[in-house]
Amino acid sequence: MIYLQTDIKNDLITVLPIFLIGLGITCSCLIAGGACYDIPSWRLYSGIAFGSLIALFIGILGIIGLMKRIPVWSILWVSISMIGFLALINFASSFGLPNVVELVIIVLSVLVAIFVFYWITKQSWQIAGLFGIGLSTALSLILFFMATNISHNKIKIGYYDLLIGIVMSGLIILYLKGNNLTKILILIAFLISNGLMIYVFDLSMQRINEESQIIYLIIFSSGLLFSGIFLHFSIRLIKKIVKI
């Protein structure tokens, strides 16, 4: 059985990727200095490069966490890396990858995801909840980052990203330290905060005449948040039925 951290040093390592995402997006926005269609290419690519270095660092630590069979400190690193990898696949697909390559990547991704979900969800609902926080928050922060790229308020939204990263890191530390009621309340807080970030993204998309997808995105984000907990109790129920 994996237990949540009790040492503040390990807690800080656990929440570090959330803070780094907020810091990375804020710094990328400051480097770029405006909406993607209003700035020189060199500033746009410099901002993307800085953010990419942060993402690469998180991905490396996520891989290390997988190799170590996902200790608690690595749960957020792994879950965020999984969402980042899916975003990378989607981006790479736009360049027309060969069908065989895409199929291999998809199969390997599914196998890794099955292993991770099973390993996490068989532990405890508290651990599964932490994993869900990582998945849903990574999606919401990516969408929030996309909102900064198409917004005239790029710098303002960028500052919010750093603030969001700090607040979310604090909430996760409370999740690690708190009792079960505290954990439930913090899961609800993440449900609300993710919804707010998706709302900002959807507003930005509507301003460039894109159709609203807010309902689908909120449902998907909520599903990611509670997916681990749902699977944990499903596994427990199946085991009880099998024993009967």
What average pLDDT values come out for the chain (244 residues) when binned by 10 residues?
66 92 82 68 78 88 88 91 80 67 76 84 90 92 76 62 89 92 95 92 83 91 93 88 75
14 is a domain residue: yes
1 is a domain residue: no
Report the residue count for the chain.
Answer: 244
Q: Which two tokens stand for residue 74?
A: 């690595």
Alpha-carbon 186 to chain mean position: 16
Give me the residue label for tokens 């480097």: 31
Q: Which helix (H) or strand (E) holds 168?
A: helix 154-177
pLDDT recorded at residue 229: 94
136 is a domain residue: yes
CB 81 within 8 A of CB 56: no
3 is a domain residue: no
Give the structural domain span for 184.
8-243
CB 117 within 8 A of CB 226: no
100 is a domain residue: yes
pLDDT recorded at residue 1: 44
Q: Which two tokens stand for residue 131?
A: 């994993």
Q: How far is Cα 102 from Cα 110, in angstroms, rounded to an integer? A: 12
Q: How far is Cα 212 from Cα 160, in angstroms, rounded to an integer? A: 22
pLDDT recorded at residue 43: 76
Number of domains in the chain: 1
Q: How far is Cα 77 from Cα 14, in angstroms, rounded to an integer? A: 8
Q: What is the pTM of this model?
A: 0.86
pLDDT recorded at residue 190: 96
pLDDT recorded at residue 2: 47
Between the alpha carbon of residue 179 and those of residues 74, 96, 130, 167, 206, the distances in Å are 21, 49, 14, 19, 41
Q: Which two tokens stand for residue 123?
A: 């532990």
* Residue type at position 219: I
User: Of 173, 178, 160, whose CA–CA distance to 133 is shortest?
Assistant: 173
Q: CA angle, 236 as apex, 233 and 237 as ends, to 5°?
A: 85
2 is a domain residue: no
User: Of 237, 149, 222, whose CA–CA distance to 187 is shortest?
Assistant: 222
Q: Checking phi first, is residue 96 left (phi over 0); if not, alpha (psi -120 to 50) or beta? A: left
pLDDT recorded at residue 40: 76
